[in-house]
Structure 1
Amino acid sequence: MTIKLLIADDDAIVREGFKMVLGMDESFEIVGTVENGKEAVEFCKNTDVDVALLDVRMPVKNGVEATLEICEKTKTKVLILTTFDDDEFINDAIRYGAKGYLLKSNPPEKIKSAIKMVYGGNAVIENVVFDKLKENLKVSNKGKIDKSLFSEREFQIIESISRGLSNREISKELFISEGTVANYITSILNKTGLEHRTQIAIYYLNNGKI
């Protein structure tokens, strides 16, 4: 089964470059390329797209604005691919439902891996972007969320996620299995109405808000 991709970027060279590199991999099918966020939204509304690769800075409608509409109106998962790690975009892109946020400077294999992870329902955000996110959300305000919503173990896991730890790292730190960590994360998502672990980090670092 191939993953149907949409590539949205206002730079024709970048669009064609990604189309060529990703199209050579049998895991992917490039179902369309567009040059702005408005076209990306309309394409996803009218075509079966598994993952949309969106640039941030596009004319007419930027990638963050497009993310909001695509996630609200379609089943397409969004992966932000940009040359920028601008503070102003990171929080909104993730809050609006983007499953991943990567810089275009990453090697093709890492981008391919990220696409597959996003398609599988996982969130992908690289360290440099996550560090920016933590700076934006004023880490000094952490820990003021309503702890009564969570068990002690759930809250430990929320704190661990906010520090950028993977499930494997959390399991080692808390001496529990990775499967148990995953079960706790599912419980946390259900209680908060959030969609993925990166939003849990935002929820914690942003004083219980998303």
Structure 2
Amino acid sequence: MGIKVVVADDQELVRAGFAMILDAQPDIEVVAEAANGLEAVEAVGRTGADIALLDVRMPQLDGLEAARQICARGGTRVVMLTTFDIDDYVYTALQAGASGFLLKDVRRDDLVHAVRVVHGGEALLAPSVTKRLIEQFARRPERAAAVFTPDAAAAQLTARELETLKLLARGLSNAEIAAEFVVSEHTVKTHVGNVLAKLHLRDRIHAVVYAYESGLVHAGQRSAEA
């Protein structure tokens, strides 16, 4: 079965162009197009889409609120479309549950790759970009004073899983974490999977958000020690 995608953008040419590129792939099917956030939420509910590509700025209901509603239902991963590389919309979208971001001038191959990556359960941002985004977000005053107090879910993490989460939050890739721990990448992948499962998180981007918002990691820290 192909990857079912909803494309939402108020600019018809952009929307149609993205849909045409994706529909041409043998493993991807565009099941609906939407011109605003309300239509996007309805289309996802009606089609059971796997992926929703949402423009940040849309009439009636913007992409951020649409993302929040879609992610709250579960079952559909959201990728935001934006004109800007980094802005406040990105941070809000992360909190809403988005799994990635694409610039509207994205290359054809990168668009297709992004849909496949997010459908596979991975976050779309590279670790270096994740670090840059989240550390800017975490420098907000209300986050700087946060003190980590493990909740019931975090208490289930082993010491190694907790260290893995800290390194994820600092933007390290699986290969870099493996080098830090002197273990295989496969072992690190297992640790990451355990962290996501125990904390009920969608992907590594949301693990990073959790690490900063919970106070486990603060902006500017460099070592693996909290």
TM-score range for the pair, normalised by the shorter chain length: 0.7 to 0.9
- Residue 86 of structure 1, CA deviation: 4.8
Q: Is the 8 A contact 1:8 1:54 kept in 2?
A: yes
Match of 2:170 among 163, 167, 172: 163
- 4+ runs deviating over 6 angstroms: none
Q: Distance in 2 between matches of 1:116 and 1:165?
A: 22
Q: Distance in 2 between matches of 1:60 and 1:130?
A: 33
Gaps of 5+ in 2: 217-226
**What residue is the counterpart of 1:206 in the other structure?**
213
What secondary structure is seen at the aligned counterpart in 1 of 2:25?
A: coil
Question: TM-score, normalized by length of structure 1?
Answer: 0.88
**What residue is the counterpart of 1:18 in the other structure?**
18
Q: Is the 8 A contact 1:51 1:76 kept in 2?
A: yes
Q: Distance in 2 between matches of 1:53 and 1:142?
A: 35
- Residue 187 of structure 1, CA deviation: 2.4
- Residue 142 of structure 1, CA deviation: 8.7
RMSD between aligned alpha carbons?
2.4
User: Which has the higher mean CA deviation after the structures are superposed, 77-86 or 159-168?
Assistant: 77-86
What secondary structure is seen at the aligned counterpart in 1 of 2:81?
A: strand
Q: Describe how 1:114-133 pairs up with structure 2 within 5 A.
A: 114-126=114-126, 127-128=128-129, 130-133=131-134
Q: Distance in 1 between matches of 2:210 and 2:138?
A: 10
User: Which has the higher mean CA deviation after the structures are superposed, 145-154 or 28-37?
Assistant: 145-154
Amino acid at match of 2:144: N
Q: Describe how 1:75-154 pairs up with structure 2 within 5 A.
A: 75-126=75-126, 127-128=128-129, 130-138=131-139, 141=144, 144-146=147-149, 149=155, 150-154=157-161
- Residue 91 of structure 1, CA deviation: 2.3
User: Which has the higher mean CA deviation after the structures are superposed, 196-205 or 138-147?
Assistant: 138-147
- Residue 161 of structure 1, CA deviation: 0.8
**What residue is the counterpart of 2:223 in the other structure?**
none
Q: Is the 8 A contact 2:196 2:207 kept in 1?
A: yes
Q: Is the 8 A contact 1:130 1:164 kept in 2?
A: yes
- Residue 18 of structure 1, CA deviation: 0.8
Amino acid at match of 1:159: K
The verdict on how the C-alpha distance between 1:14 and 1:184 changes in structure 2, with shifts beyond 3 A counting, is same
Q: Is the 8 A contact 1:36 1:58 kept in 2?
A: yes
Amino acid at match of 2:122: N
- Residue 50 of structure 1, CA deviation: 1.5
Gaps of 5+ in 1: none
- Residue 130 of structure 1, CA deviation: 4.8
**What residue is the counterpart of 1:188 in the other structure?**
195
Tell me the percent identity.
36
Q: Is the 8 A contact 1:123 1:196 kept in 2?
A: yes
User: Which has the higher mean CA deviation after the structures are superposed, 94-103 or 50-59?
Assistant: 94-103
Q: Distance in 2 between matches of 1:151 and 1:89?
A: 34
Q: Is the 8 A contact 2:80 2:98 kept in 1?
A: yes
Q: Is the 8 A contact 1:161 1:200 kept in 2?
A: yes
The verdict on how the C-alpha distance between 1:19 and 1:130 changes in structure 2, with shifts beyond 3 A counting, is farther
- Residue 185 of structure 1, CA deviation: 1.7
Q: Distance in 2 between matches of 1:165 and 1:106?
A: 24
The verdict on how the C-alpha distance between 1:57 and 1:129 changes in structure 2, with shifts beyond 3 A counting, is farther
**What residue is the counterpart of 2:221 in the other structure?**
none
The verdict on how the C-alpha distance between 1:142 and 1:111 changes in structure 2, with shifts beyond 3 A counting, is farther
